[in-house]
Amino acid sequence: MELCTLFSGSSGNACLIRCGDTQLLVDAGVSAKRLVGALRNLDVDPGELSGILVTHEHIDHIRGIDVLSKSYNLPVYANEGTWAAMEPKVERVALRNRRAFQRAQDFYIRDINVQPFSIPHDAADPVGYVLTSGKCRFAMATDMGYAHPDVLETLKGCQGIVLESNHDEEMLRRGKYPARLKQRILGRKGHLSNATSGELALKLAQSGTRALLLAHLSRENNLPELAFSTVSGCLSAGQVEPGKDIYLQLAPADGASALIKMG
Ligand SMILES: [Zn+2]
Ligand SMILES: [Zn+2]
């Protein structure tokens, strides 16, 4: 199984997961045109995708779904709460391509087992995903206000994880965002800071995670080198050496990340 992000951050998110002939997108948060370009750059025919999994209805996760699903006849998977919340923006997704799953109920898309899990975020019914094939387990965990203990339990044992490292708290507090927006981001249903991401990264590394892609970095309130140094500092403090004990990379805002490949 292999995974890479195609876009990451508040301007749009999409992640590609491949296992044999099964190819999935998690989120499609930039225009369909840009997604198609990014997929073709990786020699992926968009028409060959097995589906699009949606984490939640925020526009940076769903912007391209409508056109991409209609143009290539792709099934879209989301829970009922997310379907209801994103309804006006996905009118062109054909009825046959609307797949609703139950909360906390795993299901298969061809070769890949999909396990949605709840995340603390200010959306209707937001989820992350654990994607499993054989002994290989990958996870998507972004848009989280804090490291909920249930999320940590779910992520334990995943070898490769796309983990949010959204902001530096100091940069956010001093930055020019309005007070209300700062409160939202810092809140329990906002986004994960570099420091919290680092604490979580260490716990995950200690429970077997071998590769982390730091994702959903804020353009305003973070710097790639700061996210990387904060998380790698937390790992090193816990005797986990990035580059040796764990593979640590940043997910670029625009363009494919490094490929995480296992199994
Ligand atoms: Zn969100
Ligand atoms: Zn987001």
Q: φ, ψ for residue 221 (rounded to 5)?
A: -115, 25
What pLDDT is recorded for position 93?
A: 98
Distance 142 CA to ligand 1 centre (A): 8
Q: What is the CA(123)–ligand 2 centre distance, in A?
A: 10
Given 3-state DSSP classes, what are the helix, strand and coil percentages for the chain, each rounded to the nearest 5? 35, 30, 40
Q: Report the separation in Å between the CA atom of 259 and the middle of ligand 2, taken as the mean of its atom positions.
A: 21
Distance (angstroms) between ligand 2 centre and the Cα of 61 equals 6
In the chain, the percentage of residues whose pLDDT exceeds 70 is 100
Average pLDDT (43-70) is 98
Strand 247-250 to strand 211-215: parallel, antiparallel, or no bridges (unpaired)? parallel
Q: Return phi, psi of residue 7, to 5°.
A: -145, 150
Ligand 1 centre from 13 Cα, in Å? Answer: 10
> 121 alpha carbon to ligand 1 midpoint, in Å?
7
**Domain regions of the chain by residue span:** 2-261
97 sits in which H/E element: none
Span 116-141, mean pLDDT? 97
pLDDT of residue 263: 82
Span 28-34, average pLDDT:
98
CATH number of the structural domain 2-261: 3.60.15.10
How many A from CA of 159 to the centre of ligand 1?
A: 24
The first and second tokens of residue 161, run together, are 């994880």
User: Closest by alpha carbon to 137, among 240, 210, 244?
Assistant: 210
Whole-number Å distance, alpha carbon 11 to ligand 2 midpoint, is 8
